[in-house]
Structure 1
């Protein structure tokens, strides 16, 4: 546990969400329901009228960040413009520094939305916050650098390493199964790690108010599943053919992510098993 996280802090009354995409916007509405003042920073325009105070700015361009409000907490969850190392570094490392530099006062807590991409190959073994990171790709390396930069600052830094997201609007897997474009490594115990977008938002809201949090948490559901087990289940739900045997996903490593630390802190997923979460998604959006 870092020194910055050993002291209990009051519940944040005002929160700035930098990069309010899908998860960030879901988080914003959760916080509004709790009576929090929520500011959301985006590069583009926002519709407004939803109780969120929308701000426009680009964390890669410090000159666009003038006049940001003083807030109790920050959630840093932007996305990069392109999938290359320079874009990732500009957003996650430099952008985080730019944002924290221009805030009128240091936040009491700063949540960084990181990724399980910081881990490497573990042969299907269990992985948690104490597992040494070994990112196989530039994305994981940059995110790990940002995590470490945050941990060194006096801003109550906490990183949440999210697994693969699914939920409303994220239906590409259904399409690939129906079109016969998904293959799975059959019988080889290659694992999928997932978390529903609503559970990801709920975990962030939980960590904002958790007294004396640890510096790092893994954000994943309770049930890592072999990819062939998950995909076969979804194929049956959608009436698609079972996917053929093929290689596992490249560049992410085979592992089973553990959410034991989050659970020990008191957090519970609404969708602890992705099979149930995907089934509910199909029930609410039968067309996928």
Structure 2
């Protein structure tokens, strides 16, 4: 039986599961409460750290890691030696477009040099390199800003806490979680035959990089609520994490997922994605 071991089974990985047919899926999570929730979705779930994953790694046909690095990669710190002997036919690693750093609003693709501007981006570059050294059939997915059901601008717009932070020339790329899922499923169905020799790398983003204030304004218009006031970035109170996102401005090309994996995006821009969320969240209310 095909078995997917999903390490750090979070938002993106949970969206993948309905796309898989005939798979046994084992997800790891950090607490027993979250493990119970995953079991309620029909998955096998284990708590990690806390459970020895070695037998699962050696028994999996497919492995996906969604675990973010710190000073090192937690999965590799614990299981690099085991992974070197893993028989998996497909290994996926969820990274970030932050590895490209700031390009002043210019375009990047998978061949662009890695110039991370943040500590998180530098950690991702190191993690990508460490995974690549294991000799596995590695597929790296560099994700843009993720949104989807329960993760979008509508809650803040409704609550009156959304802000349109203005930094001239700032653009972000985004991706609906269901499009992440279909990219992963397409890659699992069509693994790169040369991935052991050189990692297969895919940018995962939509077709329309856009200024963040446009997205907030569009969300407000969809809700028929006032468009939040514009705030200059110099005057905005922001967490260090939020401010770090504004340290980078780039447009990310996604041609490879279309050409190599045959993906047709369900939500090719934020307008389509927000329209979908509005229907879902309206139904939920």
TM-score, with normalisation over the residues of structure 2? Answer: 0.82
Q: Which whole-Å deviations, capped at 9, do the CAs of 1:190-230 have from their partners, x for residues lacking one?
A: 21211111111221111222242662111101111222332
**1:100 offset after TM fit, Å?**
4.4
Residue of structure 2 equivalent to 1:196? 176
Q: For the residues of structure 1 that align with 2:17 and 2:280, how far apart are their CA atoms?
A: 23
Q: Is residue 122 of structure 1 aligned with residue 103 of structure 2?
A: yes
Residue of structure 2 equivalent to 1:209? 189
Residue of structure 2 equivalent to 1:150? 131
Q: Which structure has the highest helix share of the two?
A: 2
Residue of structure 2 equivalent to 1:9? none
Residue of structure 2 equivalent to 1:38? 25
Q: Structure 2 unaligned runs (5+)?
A: 235-241
Q: Is residue 247 of structure 1 aligned with residue 247 of structure 2?
A: no
Q: Is residue 17 of structure 1 aligned with residue 10 of structure 2?
A: no
Q: Which whole-Å deviations, capped at 9, do the CAs of 1:19-67 have from their partners, x for residues lacking one?
A: 1112112212322xx1122221222222325442222222xx6x74353
TM-score, with normalisation over the residues of structure 1? Answer: 0.81
Aligned length: 261
- Contact kept? 1:100, 1:106, Cα under 8 Å: no
Q: Which whole-Å deviations, capped at 9, do the CAs of 1:108-161 have from their partners, x for residues lacking one?
A: 221100011112111111111111111111111111111111112211111101
Q: Structure 1 unaligned runs (5+)?
A: 1-11, 81-87
Residue of structure 1 equivalent to 2:239? none
Q: Is residue 109 of structure 1 aligned with residue 98 of structure 2?
A: no
Q: 1:1-288 alignment to 2 at 5 Å?
A: 13-31=2-20, 34-45=21-32, 46-47=35-36, 48-58=39-49, 64-68=52-56, 70-79=59-68, 88-90=70-72, 93-102=73-82, 105-171=86-152, 173-178=153-158, 179-185=160-166, 188-212=168-192, 215-243=200-228, 244-247=230-233, 250-252=243-245, 253-265=248-260, 266-286=262-282
Q: For the residues of structure 2 that align with 1:36 and 1:65, how far apart are their CA atoms?
A: 18
Q: For the residues of structure 2 that align with 1:250 and 1:177, how far apart are their CA atoms?
A: 20
Q: For the residues of structure 2 that align with 1:117 and 1:137, how far apart are their CA atoms?
A: 8
**1:236 offset after TM fit, Å?**
0.7
- Contact kept? 1:163, 1:219, Cα under 8 Å: yes
